[in-house]
Amino acid sequence: MIAYRPQLCRFAALVAGVCWLALALARPQEKAGGDDPAIPAAWLDVLTGGLPIIVGAPHGGELRPSELPDRPVGVLLRDAGTDDLARRLADELGKQFGRRPHLIVCEVHRAKVDCNRELTEAAQGHPLTEALWRAYHRAVGEAADAVHREWGAGLYIDLHGQSHATARVEWGYRLKAADLALSDEKIDVDPALAGVVSVRDAVARSGKPFSAVVRGTNSLGGLLERAGFPSVPSPAHPHPGGGPYFSGGYNVQKYGSAGGGTLSAVQIEAPRRGVRDTAENRQRFAAALAAALGIWFREHYRIDLAAPSARGKTVPGR
């Protein structure tokens, strides 16, 4: 008895260790959040819309609630004006097409939470910050379900702001500057890029070459460039040309269709000068983007955003 008791103890310790490890591994990092602490409604602005469009503004918030600690590391600057720009875009879409998009604006400052990063960097271990992060992504997930149910496919727009020296709108589809530097003939047939691009489903539905969807005349960049907002990629600026360029971050990867699914995604990096700097410019950009989305959906999805049916209507024979 005495001889093997230490072995029993070691065995019990081993079992306990394995059980603890199993429990630790079983706890998903991005859990559903059912046991999350409640967050104040003012921290997150969620609008349930009726279009196949979801507008997210993860970095537009200004609130600095004392309950949330400052994040010690990470990018802490907010994208000024993107909260207002997102709301103006929602209103413009409503005005032009009779229905608004789904809208999710994080009203808390990026110094406290980053809803365009994975959870560890976003919340840095604080339970209430984690609850806010999960609420943002739960709202996007619910909007995505509604879009799928009502329209079959759609677009998530992640709205951001940058202050690069060349003031132009940067459209991020997860394609690197080096990818965009390739010719249309090359990107149209590169199977590796087809598996990366966040609008993969839109390209499949369009039936047009890959390059036409991301930088052709009727790409979002092409349409906004024509409306007076210099854009990259677009026919005029097919690639960033060596300057700084944001190709699309966490949310575009998470919600885009590169890995399958019917929700595509694009990151819009709006310059300050000419787009975010004044209420008038934000309004001009919102109106131009809403009109461009109408053309983009008609051109690539054969969906008429103004169709009276809540289910949406495809545009017959063009």
Query: Which positions lie near Zn ion, rule CB under 5 A?
Result: 59, 79, 160
Q: How far apart are CA 47 and CA 66, in angstroms?
A: 26
Distances (CA, A) of 184 to 204, 242, 305: 17, 18, 29
Q: Which residue is nearest to Zn ion (CB)?
A: 160
Helices (H) and strands (E) in the chain, counts: 12, 9
Q: How far is the CB of 315 from Zn ion (least distance, A)?
A: 34
Q: 102 pairs with which residues across the strands?
A: 54
Q: How far apart are CA 42 and CA 204, in angstroms?
A: 39
Q: How far is the CB of 251 from Zn ion (least distance, A)?
A: 10
CB atoms within 10 A of CB 5: 9
The residue (of 50 and 256) whose beta carbon lies closer to Zn ion is 256
Q: How far apart are CA 282 and CA 280, in angstroms?
A: 5
The residue (of 43 and 301) whose beta carbon lies closer to Zn ion is 43
Q: How far apart are CA 302 and CA 205, in angstroms?
A: 9
Q: How far is the CB of 59 from Zn ion (least distance, A)?
A: 4
Q: How far is the CB of 275 from Zn ion (least distance, A)?
A: 14
Q: How far is the CB of 170 from Zn ion (least distance, A)?
A: 11
Establish whether the linkage from the previous residue to 233 is cis, with ω within 30° of 0. Answer: yes
The residue (of 116 and 124) whose beta carbon lies closer to Zn ion is 116
Q: How far is the CB of 82 from Zn ion (least distance, A)?
A: 7
Phi–psi pair at 292, nearest 5 degrees: -65, -40
The residue (of 163 and 262) whose beta carbon lies closer to Zn ion is 163
The residue (of 67 and 118) whose beta carbon lies closer to Zn ion is 118
The residue (of 85 and 135) whose beta carbon lies closer to Zn ion is 85
The residue (of 268 and 290) whose beta carbon lies closer to Zn ion is 268
125 three-state secondary structure: coil
Q: How far is the CB of 42 from Zn ion (least distance, A)?
A: 21
Helix (H) or strand (E) run with residue 232 in it: strand 231-232
Q: How far apart are CA 97 and CA 298, in angstroms?
A: 12
Q: CA 178, 183, 185: angle at the middle one, nearest 5?
A: 130
